Structure 1
């Protein structure tokens, strides 16, 4: 999928406004199964856009206590006496998040490793190389599945191992698919 123009994004947000309003009401009035059915009908891109539309509906300077005042039940639907006692606003409760690009689609990574014609972003391609090699695929098999050069796969694997070591994660001493001479 190509990037959307500002006009296309606006059209999508406008088209999803009824879905957003419906979800707001459903969360307050419907059963979890009904909410799940509502969400199942949306594509991944519509869900991402819906999250943005819903966020646009919320006033970030509204107090958390006021924003959550309608919640008078627990996860089992039982009445609760919980009320946020904080005076923080929605904005103050939001964590600082560094931009991460468009994220990683794990399903797309799996499809690509099975040889599907999937366009992966850089983070997804790196993850696919890491997963493929850790599963025992050879450099050549990963390169073919991801439509990459064998040397590019090796470089990506080396960078992945370096990152993993810095983060304290286990790294196989050699690429599993390249182990030979073991009887």
Structure 2
């Protein structure tokens, strides 16, 4: 993990010391499929869960994830909405960074969410809550959020999601648009 950290710093992706500390406390191997565990310290997106030959969850490329988190300009007391929990790597990083804050992480797949919950327990994170549900609508029960990050592309930002963000909140959300050729 130290080689990956060194690369992220040299390349200019990693500048936040709290994020660096969080990365040093986690082992990405715990968040990826055993079949790709040897590649856990590479700067590549990796499969974190597959079932019957179908990819159910991936671990975002570290340089992309770190860039996204850094762009949020988080404070230690922020409340963050994390969409696309996967096996929990992003949620755990955020939980380690936000020592006085909290994370609400949403996942649609119960099996994937259970793996993330196990990882939260492994790393003793009590400030992260995993919610099973459609992230497009956020988690109204836990609103209002200082920031939002999504490691899954959304078709857009719904009114429900927008209304759960504090004024001045920052968000990093990849938007996916489908176009039909006629």
Which of the pair is proportionally richer in helix? 1
**Considering the TM-score relative to the shorter chain, is it more than 0.5?**
no
Which structure: larger Rg? 1
Report the TM-score, using the length of structure 2 for normalisation: 0.23
Which of the pair is proportionally richer in strand? 2
Report the TM-score, using the length of structure 1 for normalisation: 0.23
